């Protein structure tokens, strides 16, 4: 009998007979692996465990404890959901059902789904899991596949197959009476699927084309253990309570209107927070040697052609015509900063030149992708560009890393760093890209920071360093970015007079820390669950009188604090003090000062702090001193 040499992940080698299935191989290695393995990688290719060994191979097995195994389980769960739908609602047609973060979805047509049907679908899915149906892979020619799905009237599968070359060999996956077109791999049987839950439905255009048929997309989550599913559902509930759109409305921070989709309106409370963020960062930027500038929002098309944005980004730009010429709202601030640099002859003595701008930019995002402050069409970038000599790159990158650390440290945000390299849609020569990527990597190595490589995710004009912060409930957000650019200096013909008296080309470092200030405010709203620290809070102190006769002292107290620069207000309404305290808590105001006869007579206040409750009495001057120190040190409230 012909044998093949199998090399395992740990380097162990064993000989197996040709035709041995991967599941048999797993069982031979250990009974536990035989029970728990769900998929294998063979010579770098993913394979179902029913596949057989027919050559020497490097084999690695994965279980549901591995991310790879969990992804396969979620993929198979999508098929199980489709099978349950087919049983319950005959005539439903199937489009696609891929894996997504934490779960999967499937797109359906010809049935009007409702959330009330979720329970029935889940019950039928459990029945299919209990049936423990083997999931069987079958190879089929393109012509036979077309005939099979045309006979069933599956128009979406037919269209997918018709787009493939005539000599393509396809795979079907069969579990009981249900058959689907799929690359795989899949679980050995439906019984391996563990905990899942259908979460929501949404409309989705076939192939993402708004001119095509609207389908119904059912979203679900799936995990290897019931406890993991329960933890995820708790996380989602926590995230729902922290949703910045909900809190933004309740706390009157910002609003949106159909008259300007995806473009936030700042209400007074929200603008206080935004202004404080800018004041905070602006001070640190001045200390770091930045000069602030302001560039126009609307600029001529020829500028965007010169910068390369017109070729790489015009579908995301808002364009208008004036004076028989095309103009565009800026999606980025960089071209305007190139013009500022080019405005006069520069000397090496001026470099590094650091210019910053809180620039209002517009980008045409698809309407269906908009989401509160997290995905908008109009936002403000805390943008900066550093024009420097090549030998200054390392030090300037280190300075930016230090500035990022200072700013994120105030919010106690942990973060990790990724180095994003050349994307497919890029401009410039291979040599410049190699030089830029090497320079960024050398700067990171020189700074001694940990980072990971994110291949192909750089900007079209250069590689970048991205900072991903982690919020209070563990979600990560990409915010700060540092991009090294050898392209725009060439396109704008930027030069400086070197120490040798000759003309040289500068390098440009693009830098943003909040990124989008609007998005950062949304992140902060969710991170703090609306309970902003005192230095950011729209109202820092509310003074509540226990009865009408003490309203004068309440107003005097609020005025005393206001004159000292605090954002304070008096609540002298003829309401019970318990009601006033509860309302201040709902508004998440950091400090509520209760004043009555005793406080009025001795010039004190009874202090309540959000998240901590009653702090007892303090002299008003003592409280003001304490609050001033808390704000100066930018302490977190909770």
Active site residues: 334, 363, 381, 383, 385, 464, 510
| Cβ-based neighbour number of residue 185 at 10 Å | 27
Cβ 509 vs Cβ 396: under 8 Å = yes
Question: Of all residues in the chain, what percent are helix, strand and coil, respectively (each to 5)?
Answer: 40, 30, 30
Distance CA 560, CA 471 (A): 36
Per-residue H/E/C for 329-397? ECCCCHHHHHHHHHCCCCEHHHCCEEEEEEEEEECCCCHHHCECCCECCEEEEEEEEEEECHHHHHHHH
Burial class (CB in 10 A: 0-12, 13-18, 19+), 264: buried
Q: Which helix (H) or strand (E) holds 544?
A: strand 541-545
Please give the span between the terminal C-alpha atoms of the chain, in angstroms, as a whole number: 70
- The token pair at 43 is 């010579």
* Mutual angle of helices 430-447 and 393-410, in 10-degree steps: 60
Per-residue H/E/C for 477-510? EEEEEEEEECHHHHHCCCCEECCCCCEECCEEEE
Name the strands in the sheet holding 178-181, side by side, starting at the edge strand that comes first in the sequence.
136-141, 169-175, 178-181
Q: Apex CA 380: angle with CA 377 and CA 384, to 5°? A: 130
DSSP conformation class of 428: S
DSSP conformation class of 625: H
Cβ 453 vs Cβ 463: under 8 Å = no
Q: What is the CA radius of gyration of the chain?
A: 31
Would the CA dihedral through 129, 130, 133, 134 be positive or negative? Answer: positive
β-pairing, 568-571 vs 541-545, is: parallel
Distance CA 483, CA 486 (A): 10
- The token pair at 542 is 């509310």
């Amino acid at each position: 009998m012909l044998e093949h040499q199998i090399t395992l992940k740990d380097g162990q080698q064993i000989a197996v007979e040709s035709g041995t299935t991967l599941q048999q191989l797993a069982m031979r290695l250990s009974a536990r692996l035989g029970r728990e393995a769900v998929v294998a990688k063979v010579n770098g290719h993913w394979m179902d465990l029913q596949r057989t060994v027919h050559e020497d191979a490097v084999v690695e097995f994965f279980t549901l404890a591995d991310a790879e195994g969990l992804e396969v389980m979620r993929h198979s769960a999508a098929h199980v959901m489709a099978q349950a739908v087919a049983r319950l609602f005959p005539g439903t047609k199937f489009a696609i059902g891929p894996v997504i973060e934490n779960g999967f979805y499937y797109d359906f047509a010809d049935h009007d789904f409702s959330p009330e049907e979720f329970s029935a679908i889940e019950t039928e899915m459990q029945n299919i899991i209990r049936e423990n149906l083997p999931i069987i892979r079958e190879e089929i020619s393109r012509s036979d596949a077309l005939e099979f799905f045309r006979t069933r009237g599956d128009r979406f599968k037919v269209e997918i197959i018709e787009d493939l070359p005539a000599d393509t060999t396809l795979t079907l996956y069969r579990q009981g009476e249900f058959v689907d077109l799929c690359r795989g791999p899949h679980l050995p049987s439906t019984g391996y699927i563990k905990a899942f839950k259908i979460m929501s439905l949404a409309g989705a255009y076939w192939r993402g084309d708004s001119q095509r048929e609207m389908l119904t997309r059912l979203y679900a989550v799936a995990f290897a253990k019931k406890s993991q599913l329960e933890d995820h559902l708790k996380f989602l509930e926590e995230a729902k309570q922290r949703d910045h759109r909900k809190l933004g409305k309740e706390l009157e921070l910002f609003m949106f209107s159909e008259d300007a989709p995806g473009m936030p309106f700042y209400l007074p409370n929200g603008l206080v927070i935004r202004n404080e963020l800018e004041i905070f960062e602006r001070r640190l930027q001045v200390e770091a040697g930045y000069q602030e500038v302001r560039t126009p929002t609307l600029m001529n098309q020829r500028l965007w052609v010169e910068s390369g944005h017109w070729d790489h980004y015009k579908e995301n730009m808002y364009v208008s015509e004036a004076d028989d010429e095309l103009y565009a709202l800026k999606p980025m601030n960089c071209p305007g900063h190139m013009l500022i640099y080019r405005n006069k002859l520069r000397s090496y003595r001026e470099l590094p030149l650091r210019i910053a701008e809180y620039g209002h930019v517009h980008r045409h995002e698809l309407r269906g992708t908009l989401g509160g402050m997290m995905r908008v069409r109009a936002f403000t970038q805390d943008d900066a560009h550093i024009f420097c000599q090549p030998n200054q790159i390392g030090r300037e990158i280190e300075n930016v890393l230090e500035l990022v650390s200072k700013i994120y440290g105030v919010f106690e945000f942990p973060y990790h760093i990724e180095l994003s390299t050349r994307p497919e849609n890029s401009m410039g020569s291979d040599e410049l890209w190699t030089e830029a990527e090497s320079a960024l990597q050398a700067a990171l190595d020189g700074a001694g920071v940990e980072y990971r490589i994110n291949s192909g995710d750089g900007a079209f004009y250069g590689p970048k360093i991205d900072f991903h912060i982690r919020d209070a409930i563990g979600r990560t957000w990409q915010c700060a970015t540092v991009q090294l650019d050898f392209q725009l200096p060439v396109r704008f013909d930027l030069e400086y007079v070197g120490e040798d008296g000759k003309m040289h080309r500068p390098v440009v470092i693009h830098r943003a820390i909040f990124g989008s200030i609007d998005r950062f405010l949304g992140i902060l709203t969710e991170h703090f669950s609306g309970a902003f620290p005192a230095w950011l809070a729209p109202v820092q102190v509310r003074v509540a009188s226990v009865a009408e006769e003490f309203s004068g002292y309440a107003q005097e107290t609020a005025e005393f604090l206001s004159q000292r620069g605090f954002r304070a207000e008096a609540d002298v309404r003829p309401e019970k003090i318990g009601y006033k305290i509860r309302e201040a808590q709902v508004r998440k105001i950091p400090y509520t000062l209760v004043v009555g006869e005793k406080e009025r007579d001795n010039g004190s206040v009874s202090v309540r702090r959000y998240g901590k409750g009653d702090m007892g009495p303090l002299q008003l001057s003592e409280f003001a001193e304490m609050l001033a120190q808390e704000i100066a040190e930018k302490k977190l409230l909770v």
